[in-house]
Chains A and B, each alone.
Chain A
Amino acid sequence: MASTIRTIHEQLISKERSAVEITTETLARIEQLEPQLHSFLHVTAESALAQAEAVDAQIAAGEAIVPLAGVPIAIKDNLCTTGIPTTCGSRILENFVPPYESTVTQKLKDAGAVIIGKTNMDEFAMGSSTENSGYGRTCNPWDFDRVPGGSSGGSAAAVAADECAIALGSDTGGSIRQPASLCGVVGMKPTYGLVSRFGLVAYASSLDQIGPLARSVEDAAILLAAIAGYDPKDSTSIKVEIPNYAQNLQPNFRPKAKLRIGIIQETFGSGLDEAVNTAVRAAVEVLQELGAEIQVVSCPRFGYGLPAYYIIAPSEASANLARYDAVKYGVRVEEPENLLDMYKRTRAQGFGTEVKRRIMLGTYALSAGYYDAYYLKAQKVRTLIKQDFDAAFEKVDILISPTSPTTAFTAGEKTDDPLSMYLSDLMTIPVNLAGLPAISVPCGFDRQGLPIGMHLISKVLREDLLLQVAHAYEQATQWHRQQPQLL
């Protein structure tokens, strides 16, 4: 059984292991696994050991340490880290080293967490398999021929393979939850605005949200509490008190009959793997046995989420990615003939296919004459989807769907068929459009031994309830205790 934050913390304060020992062992494991797995783009051994030494010094001095102190954490490579390359999985930022720190990584550093490295991802978080990385794909720890999901595939694989205790990802349409599901770990997307986006390289600003990946709900809760909170540097962050999510988790929580859980009818239709269908329905039964009241609810416009997302996200991305023009930072082509040549060749060489596809989609959707038909209409769909959720939450407290319609697919299987790749995020995308929090928890395996995830959604800012229900389910099952056999 791999370590949790709680076991690491107990070992540190009892001086059973030192932070340096834990870090050294983690680095050794990374070194062993990485040649095959490729979860990481940069391993920051030196600064990790320095941080671990500082934690050990604190312990030696008799100072109290917070639970995250000395805990090895992996960071998705679209979070800016001072002095550490931050590439977003893109060749265009191959040489980019930020001179500033993202708010979330600053909070982690302040808590004494040991940042062990930056993880692989689909370029600029655009993708569902981590195959769109400019630096090669990451393997799924359960089957190296398969993808770990994406875009936070590096973070999910690193957690599943025990290359770190916990990790940060970002989720624009499912980029934390879908890889968590495909790698058999816990992944959570908080309410939009709960976690500061300062220092998160933007993909689609109105949808992007940073969140935790972990091997247990409790670890996700501890990590979320550490990174959440109002930040004056992010005008979209919410001014709200952050509860101590982990402390509030009741060890033997039994959902009372009052707890109403709704199964989203529209997410159990065609295109769903039978194994996924069976596993999620069985998971719902577990919740029922625990005391929750189950009903089927309809979100009739749920299915329009995907097309609306593929207008809104690329539109924002087309603007967000305009800054990579070789003028100020990043890669610049050799000997440009003139300004236009510099722009064109840098961007042609620096961006991968999927990024170019979305820039073009977005540019088109925002063009004069098309704006009303595409962008504006998509925004209206977004409002309708929110209304669907609002209506559903009149009836229930938690909504449930599969996290992804399938288990991990084979590398290369969907790379030539973007639409089938996009369908992988069908269940997760509407949640981003509505700004709601949601979590994916392991709920079974298919016949090939590939993990399946259950997707739980709550009203905005009800992360406490979401974590509690997910925790109750997790404690009643053994799925999260299973680990891929790697060494």
Chain B
Amino acid sequence: MAAATATQTKYEAIIGLETHCQLNTNTKIFSPVSTQFGAPPNTNISPICLGYPGVLPVLNEKVLEYAVKAGLALNCQIAPYSKFDRKQYFYPDLPKNYQISQYDLPIAEHGWLEVEIVDKKTQAVRRKRIGITRLHMEEDAGKLVHAGSDRLSGSTHSLVDFNRAGVPLLEIVSEPDIRSGAEAAEYGQELRRIVRYLGISDGNMQEGSLRCDVNISIRPVGQTEFGTKVEIKNMNSFSAIQKAIDYEIERQIKAVGKDEPIVQETRLWEEGSQRTISMRKKEGSSDYRYFPEPDLPPIEVSVEQREAWGGELPELPAQKRHRYEEELGLSAYDARVLSDDRAVAEYFEAAIATGAETKQVANWLMGDIAAYLNSEKLAVTEIALTPANLAELVTLIEKGTISGKIAKEILPELLTDAVDSVEKLVESKGMTQISDTGALEAMIDELLTANPDKVEQFRAGKTKLQGFFVGQLMKKTSGRADPKVANKLLSKKLKG
């Protein structure tokens, strides 16, 4: 009976994300030691990173600046008075066996970010605000390398690399406003866009500089209380987040349908088998015995300081998207693609600032140029083609100086070799379009004389043959004939 009603019940998922974002400061949060990723084990360390007896932490001011900027970009309230706390637990990758973090007075709270959800079928874009509960600063732990197993259990011994210990982190906790894997993936991507726009993190998930843990429960639609929460870890891409959540929603609905209880636990996403597996049961919440860090004075951010840092914020991805749609008339899709990467967006804006046609510039950037960047693994800042060059190229097509086809032919050269003027280049190569009616008429007359049978057939009704003549004319002009003018002249002459 219960099973029968359960199958008919519609469920919704309640999802919150906890994101750890490594800041790209040159030195660690509490010690003047390099944060360089990929250095040989235990080379970026100092007595402070290792929690040696008698050493003291000193806050890297850059970390505070980045945290406040991130808080402002996420529409948070910045705490005028904040502090660090010690979060205590024993683990060999945690040098002091406590982590310097923030507990009850985080640097930023009560914010939100906007995500755009694209409907797969209709391609319609829906905007949604996801609440940000809090954002705080903390230090990263080191890394364990287990010999003989992927995990601590089953390994013969473990090695510890403290290079990462003390790398600054922002922990960003969302409200449980997320309802699907797609929304979660979009939230993660938007967060990454924001930190990249701010220039405070590289947001690289493979290298672990952006790590997302998911909290998820289900409940029948209409019910107000939450179901039992399960935590999922170990996703190292946004698509993994989406798939792990979708899998977990299914699993929980099936379990409830079979009258199996959902247990409060931590589950791991297994990329290989594309499923979540139980890692550990949670018996009550852990007691971290937080207390204020006595080695660091409270953090005070003055209004002047907050406003000064706020004034340094760039236009953020959501603002750009809105502006591109509303002021530039781009589609929601184009606006999303162009604003995804700050450098591309700035390139785009520089190109259209000269008056080049917006949609054409967008098409080039999203089409041929994007394809080239993709295949060559280059950033838009690394190509020889300047925004001014692209604007000139688009304008030359618009004016009819060159054809779109010629433009595509010349692009590879422009991407790799710097030029002052695209127009001079096409002129010197004799690639400008022939729009001169006199010259074209003479060539058309020649063609008609040379192909009397085709002219005959055309006039008998086989009008498709106009294409043949266009092709011949293009051949004769190496593709430089202005197609509009050529077609117009041909129609007239073929009809006699």
**B56 engages A197 (CB within 8 Å):** yes
Whole-angstrom distance between the Cβ of B291 and the nearest chain A Cβ: 5
Q: Are B160 and A327 in contact (CB under 8 A)?
A: yes
Give chain A's interface residues, CB within 8 Å of chain B: 78-80, 86, 88, 93, 96, 98-100, 102, 197-202, 204-206, 232-236, 315-316, 318-319, 322-323, 325, 327-329, 339, 343, 363, 366-368, 371, 375
Contact A323 B96 (CB under 8 A): yes
Residue from A235, A367, A375 in contact with B58 in the complex, judged by beta carbons closer than 8 Å:
A235
Residues of B within 8 A of A371 (CB): 289, 291
Contact of B88 with A322 in the complex, beta carbons under 8 Å: yes
Partner of B88, one of A86, A88, A204, A319: A319
6 contacts between A and B (CB under 8 A): A80-B53, A96-B53, A99-B47, A199-B54, A322-B88, A368-B287
Q: Smallest distance from the beta carbon of B27 to chain A beta carbons, Å? A: 14
Whether B483 is near chain A, meaning CB under 8 Å from some CB there, is no
A205 touches B295 (CB 8 A): yes
Contacts of A197 in B (CB 8 A): 54, 56
- Decide yes or no: A343 and B291 within 8 Å by CB, A323-B53, A323-B95, A329-B52 being known contacts: no
B166 to chain A, nearest CB (A): 14
Q: How far is the CA of A405 from the CA of B279 in the complex (A)?
A: 57
| Contact, CB under 8 Å: A319 / B59 | no
Most buried by A among B92, B160, B291: B291
Contact among B54, B287, B294 for A201, CB-based, below 8 A: B54
Minimum distance in angstroms from B340 CB to a CB of chain A: 40
How many angstroms between the C-alpha atoms of A316 and B297 in the bound complex? Answer: 15
Chain B contributes a number of interface residues (CB within 8 A of A) equal to 31
**CA distance in complex: A298, B297 (Å):** 31
Contacts of B51 in A (CB 8 A): 323, 328
With an 8 A cutoff between CB atoms, is B86 at the interface? yes
- Are the C-beta atoms of B295 and A366 separated by less than 8 Å? no
**B364 adjacent to chain A (CB < 8 Å):** no
Q: Mark B49-75, 1 if CB is under 8 A from A, else 0.
A: 011111111110000000000000000
User: Is the beta-carbon distance between B50 and A235 smaller than 8 angstroms?
Assistant: no
Chain B residues near A204 (CB-CB < 8 A): 294
Question: Contact between B289 and A363 (Cβ–Cβ < 8 Å)?
Answer: yes
The CA of A99 and the CA of B57, in the complex, are separated in Å by 17
How far, in Å, is B96 (CB) from chain A's closest CB?
5
Chain A residues contacting B98 (CB-CB under 8 Å) are 319, 322
In the complex, which residues of chain A have a beta carbon less than 8 angstroms from the beta carbon of B152?
339
Could you tell me the distance between the alpha carbons of A233 and B55 in the complex, rounded to whole angstroms? Answer: 8
| B residues less than 8 Å from A236 (CB atoms) | 56, 294-297
A96 to chain B: closest residue by CB: B53
Alpha-carbon gap, A319 to B293, bound state (A): 10
Docked Cα-Cα span, A198 to B47, in Å, equals: 12
Q: Would you call B81 an interface residue if the criterion is a C-beta within 8 Å of the partner chain's C-beta atoms?
A: no
Q: Is B189 an interface residue (CB 8 A)?
A: no
Q: Is B236 an interface residue (CB 8 A)?
A: no
B54 in contact with A202 (CB, 8 Å): yes
Other A-B contacts than A235-B56, A323-B51, 15 sampled, CB-CB below 8 A, are A80-B54, A199-B54, A205-B295, A234-B58, A315-B291, A316-B294, A322-B90, A322-B97, A323-B97, A327-B160, A329-B50, A329-B52, A366-B290, A368-B285, A375-B291
Contact A235 B297 (CB under 8 A): yes
